[in-house]
Amino acid sequence: MALRPSVFETDLSTNFNTPAGRESFSQIRNTPLVRDSKNIRKADSITNVTPFLAYLTHYSKIYSTKDPHLRNLMIRLNEVTKKFGDFTAVNGLSLEIKAGEFFGFLGPNGAGKTTTIKMMTGLFTPTSGSIAINGFDIGRNPDEAKFSTGYIPDQPFLYEKLTGREFLYFSAGLYRMDHDAATASIAGLADLFEIGEWIDRRTEHYSQGMRQRIVIAAALLHNPKALIIDEPMVGLDPRSAHIVKKVLKQKSREGSAVFMSTHSLPVAEELCDRIGIIKNGVLVFEDSLNAFHDFKRRYDGKFESTFLELTK
Rounded to the nearest whole angstrom, what is the least distance from the CB of residue 24 to other proteins in the complex?
A: 21
Q: Does 303 interact with other proteins (rule: CB under 8 A)? A: no
Spatial CB neighbours of 198, under 8 Å, sequence gap ≥ 6: 164, 206, 210
DSSP state of 75: E
Q: Between vectors from CA 10 to CA 40 and to CA 181, what angle results, nearest 5°? A: 80
CA–CA gap between residue 152 and residue 260 (Å, rounded): 9
User: Site map for other proteins, 56-95, x if CB under 8 A?
Assistant: ----------------------------------------
Nearer Cβ to other proteins (146/274): 146
Using CB under 8 A, which of 27, 57, 65, 125 touches other proteins?
A: 125
Nearer Cβ to other proteins (107/150): 150
Q: What is the CA radius of gyration of the chain?
A: 20
User: Site map for other proteins, 133-172, x if CB under 8 A?
Assistant: ---------xxx-xx-x-x-x-x-xxxxxxx-xx--xxxx
Q: Which of 233, 211, 229 is nearest to 220 (CA)?
A: 229
Q: Are 195 and 221 in contact (CB under 8 A)?
A: no
Nearer Cβ to other proteins (80/289): 80
Rounded to the nearest whole angstrom, what is the least distance from the CB of residue 17 to other proteins in the complex?
A: 25
Rounded to the nearest whole angstrom, what is the least distance from the CB of residue 34 to other proteins in the complex?
A: 19
Q: Which of 264, 234, 244 is nearest to 104 (CA)?
A: 264
Nearer Cβ to other proteins (166/269): 166
Q: Which of 242, 227, 230 is nearest to 194 (CA)?
A: 242
* Residues numbered 189-228 forming contacts with other proteins, rule: CB under 8 A: 200-202, 204-205, 218
CA–CA gap between residue 82 and residue 182 (Å, rounded): 36
Contact residues: other proteins, CB under 8 A = 2, 44, 46-48, 51, 118, 121-125, 142-144, 146-147, 149, 151, 153, 155, 157-163, 165-166, 169-179, 200-202, 204-205, 218
